[in-house]
Structure 1
Amino acid sequence: MSIAGKRALITGIQGFTGRYMAAELQASGYEVMGLGSQPSAEPGYFQVDLADGPALRKLLANIQPDVVIHLAALAFVGHGAADAFYRVNLIGTRHLLEAIAACGKVPDCVLLASSANVYGNASAGLLSEATPPAPANDYAVSKLAMEYMANLWRERLPILITRPFNYTGVGQADSFLLPKIVTHFRQRAAKIQLGNLDVSRDFSDVRAVVTAYRGLIEARPSGQTVNVSSGKSHSLREVIAMCSALTGHPLEVEVNPAFVRANEVKILCGDNTRLCELVKGWQTPNLEETLSWMLSAE
């Protein structure tokens, strides 16, 4: 497929992932447009709330994108207002699909970013797309509900669902665990409070995640659900050791019982076989490389 002049619409373009996604697509020759809920003077940006169905329909009718990458979401699992997850992640996505379907042009691909959180805490080990979902919080339930709702549009739109596992990089908020740890090392803090140090999670690099998304919209595996993961897991204890080795700074860790979750799965790791079949040669930097990039960022 020729990419020259293809028009891509990214929702949540001003977010952590959205900025990297825009740069990735622009570097590949796409004309990139974006929408979000906050004001911005950036060219090609439109301030539209996903709650505003009529405004979305008007915008999509004007833009008529060739591909849509839907990243806009209420993403932080610790967010307090449960209703907001459903308003943004479920109802907002429905409004978007409605607007795309009514815009007068069927895109080549509509990528919806879901979350590996849909697998919940029920299954340990290497999780494939066939692992039964068992969401354990409102954020995860809202994402799984979004997936089911999107199934209603599969006859009309070429929908692809991704389930990214944890990923990180420069610019991610300190409310997320790895940026919090990196910030403590960058500030050469004496100590940090964390939860269970022996849980292992699958961490990818945001730069590799957006490469995966671009590869998927070009492969166009409509109707599929695809894990985006490194296929390796690291414990927080290992992350601390890596940062310590990279910086030469010792950091004392205090385990705060308030941060320890009951029945937490020890190891969560994503099987990325399907992704690697669809996007040939895809890989993510090893975690040490990503942490080094974050630790040395200006």
Structure 2
Amino acid sequence: MSKRILITGASGFTGKHAVQHFLDKGYVVHAVIRLTKLDLMQENLHIHSLDLSDKAAVHALLEKTNPDYILHLAGENSVPESWKTPFKSWQANVDSTLHLVEAVRDLGLSTRVVIAGSVLQDELSDAASPTHPYSLTKTMQTTVGLAWHNLFQVDVIIAKPSNIIGPGVSNGVCTLFAKQLRQLQTSGKSQFQVGNAAVTRDFIDVRDLVTAYETLFLKGTAGETYEITSGRWVSLGEILSLFRQVSSFDFTIRSETEEAMEMKLPMMSEKIRALKWEPTRSLEMSLADVWEYTAQL
């Protein structure tokens, strides 16, 4: 019998890739969306329009679907928006998570829940002095999930990915760069300006990330946090240089500053790799796919 997975935020960047991945693997997928559409029709796909801040609706959905797995991707992921409407971000990230794990507890389900954290979240010890409202909501979101595991034995795992890239609708820096470069190319100009080319980040392809999520469902340990990274730190200047290669667009790079930036400790992916997961797509492959995708826009 096919396993049932419920995916929140199913119409988002990672969500769309996750839905297709699990359908391809033979799962029965219950895709939860809210304001947007999911333009996909397959036999094992069931789409639910739901506001996760509605506790009763979440409880009813889980009672109806009884999923083996929940991949919780939904939420507000914009730092600027979190400054404008911090309570909305709290509802989207913290309340929605609480409603999910509480419904699992209340219904006595054996569902395994993987909650997607963020590279931008702070440590719980720093929660009273957060970097921004978004980081606070992600810190508290993962804390709630782990607390429900420790208090009530809900099967919760936290997945903390680095910066996500790949083809699809995304507000990530690589997709933004690709769009801007195409506009530059169309205009006939050849100088690309960036704020600080020295900023370094780790990027993980969204398709490798979704495979990591499945690995956690099958092999992860409840109550643990798994960081999911490529293990390759690159500067934004290097990203632009790679775009020059994959696009065959000979542009120059002008950085407003190249001062060294204070960086959090690099994320470590030993725990997820110990479960026999490895990324399969190189950064160059991912950027080539991003470049090809933006040609359609």
User: Which of the five TM-score ranges fits, normalised by the shorter chain?
Assistant: 0.7 to 0.9
Q: Decide which of 283, 286, 289 is 2:285's aligned counterpart.
A: 289
1:36–1:48 contact (8 Å) kept in structure 2:
yes
Contact 2:122 2:136 in 1 (8 A): no
Q: Distance in 2 between matches of 1:76 and 1:253?
A: 27
SS at match of 2:80: coil
Q: Going by fraction, where is helix more abundant, 1 or 2? A: 2
**TM-score under structure 2 normalisation?**
0.86
Alignment-derived partner of residue 218 in structure 2? 218
SS of the residue 1:75 aligns to: coil
Check if 1:145 corresponds to 2:140: yes
State the distance in 2 between where 1:48 and 1:56 align. 8
Count of aligned positions: 280
Which AA in structure 2 matches 1:50?
A: L
Q: Distance in 2 between matches of 1:89 and 1:75?
A: 9
Partners of 1:177 and 1:168 in 2: CA distance? 8
Which of the numbers 41, 52, 55 marks the counterpart of 2:54? Answer: 52
Matched AA of 2:7: I
* Alpha-carbon shift at residue 176 of structure 1 (Å): 2.2
2:27 corresponds in structure 1 to 30
Matched, 1:20 2:17: yes
Q: CA deviation at 1:57?
A: 0.8
CA gap 1:207/1:12 in 2 versus in 1, 3 angstroms: same
What amino acid maps onto 2:30 in structure 1? M
Q: With the length of structure 1 as denominator, give the TM-score of the two structures.
A: 0.85
What does 1:70-219 correspond to in 2, within 5 Å? 70-79=72-81, 80-107=84-111, 109-119=112-122, 135-154=130-149, 155-173=152-170, 175-187=171-183, 188=185, 190=189, 191-219=191-219
Q: Output the CA distance in 1 between the equivalents of 2:73 and 2:227.
A: 15
Contact 1:197 1:235 (8 Å CA) reproduced: yes
Deviations 1:9-51 (A, max 9, x none): 0001111101111111111111111112126475511111011
Q: Deviations over 1:111-147 (max 9, x none)?
A: 0001121248xxxxxxxxxx98885221111111112
Q: Which amino acid aligns with 2:200?
A: S
Q: Which amino acid aligns with 2:251?
A: L
Structure 1 residue 151, shift from structure 2 partner? 2.5
Match of 1:269 among 266, 269, 283: 266
SS in 1 for 2:74: coil
3-state SS in 2 of match to 1:105: coil
Alpha-carbon distance change, 248 to 232 in structure 1, aligned in 2, over 3 angstroms: same
Distance 2:277 2:36 in 1: 38
Work out which structure has the larger RCO, using CA pairs closer than 8 Å and 6 or more positions apart in sequence.
1
The residue that corresponds to 1:234 in the other structure is 234
Task: Evaluate the alpha carbon distance shift between residue 103 and residue 286 of structure 1 in structure 2; reply closer, same or farther with a 3 A threshold.
Answer: same
Q: Percentage identity across aligned positions?
A: 27
The one-letter amino acid paired with 2:270 is: T
Cα 1:267–1:288 shift into 2, 3 Å: farther
The whole-number CA distance in structure 1 between the counterparts of 2:247 and 2:254 is 20
* Change beyond 3 A, Cα 1:267–1:39: closer
Could you tell me whether the CA contact under 8 Å between 1:198 and 1:237 is conserved in 2? yes
Equivalent position SS for 2:221: coil
1:143-182 deviations in Å (ceiling 9; x for gaps): 1111222232103311000111101111132x32110111
Provide the alpha-carbon RMSD of the alignment: 2.6
Q: Which amino acid aligns with 1:84?
A: K
Partner of 1:128: none
Which contiguous aligned blocks of 4+ residues in structure 1 show a shift greater than 6 angstroms? 131-134
Q: CA deviation at 1:60?
A: 0.9
Task: Give the Cα–Cα distance (whole angstroms) in 1 for the partners of residues 121 and 164 of structure 2.
Answer: 16
Instruction: List runs of 5+ in structure 1 lacking aligned partners.
Output: 121-130
Unaligned 5+ runs, structure 2:
none
Change in CA separation of 1:84 and 1:264 when aligned onto 2, cut-off 3 Å = farther
